[in-house]
Amino acid sequence: MTELSSTAGRPLVAETGDEVVRRPPIERGPLAWARRNLFSSKASGATTIVMVVALSWLGYRLLDWAVLRAVWALPGSSIADTQLCRSDMAGGGWGPLR
């Protein structure tokens, strides 16, 4: 005969003679989703880590180009001053877009 019992916060267990079978814990939330979908195997975990590193590097490079090294204003108002954006290819040229 199978009996179900619960004791002070522990999950229900089924006792069948000498064998005790515990119910698996309920997994909910973002960490459980990530474990299930992004780290379900060694290959999946390695791919996830490589992609996070690659996208982080790419995001840093884009932020560096578009914001940190960008030319925000031109020293003069002539068309020739737009060459400043093209002379130093380290950052985006946002000055002529006003």
User: What pTM was computed for the model?
Assistant: 0.56
Short-list 53, 58, 27, 56, CA closest to 40: 27
The owner of tokens 């195997």 is 41
Short-list 67, 96, 70, CA closest to 83: 96
Q: Tell me: the pLDDT tens digits for 7-18?
A: 555 555 665 666
Q: How confident is the model at residue 60 (pLDDT cuts 50, 70, 90)?
A: very high
Share of the chain above pLDDT 90, in %: 28
Tell whether the model's pLDDT for residue 35 goes beyond 70: yes
Residues 6 or more apart whose CB falls under 8 angstroms from that of 11 comprise 22, 23, 25
Given this model, what pLDDT does residue 50 score? Answer: 98
User: Is residue 69 within 8 Å of 90, Cβ to Cβ?
Assistant: yes
Q: Provide mean pLDDT across the span 17-24.
A: 69
Report how far residue 60's alpha carbon sits from residue 54's, in angstroms, rounded to the nearest whole number. Answer: 10
Given this model, what pLDDT does residue 1 score? Answer: 45
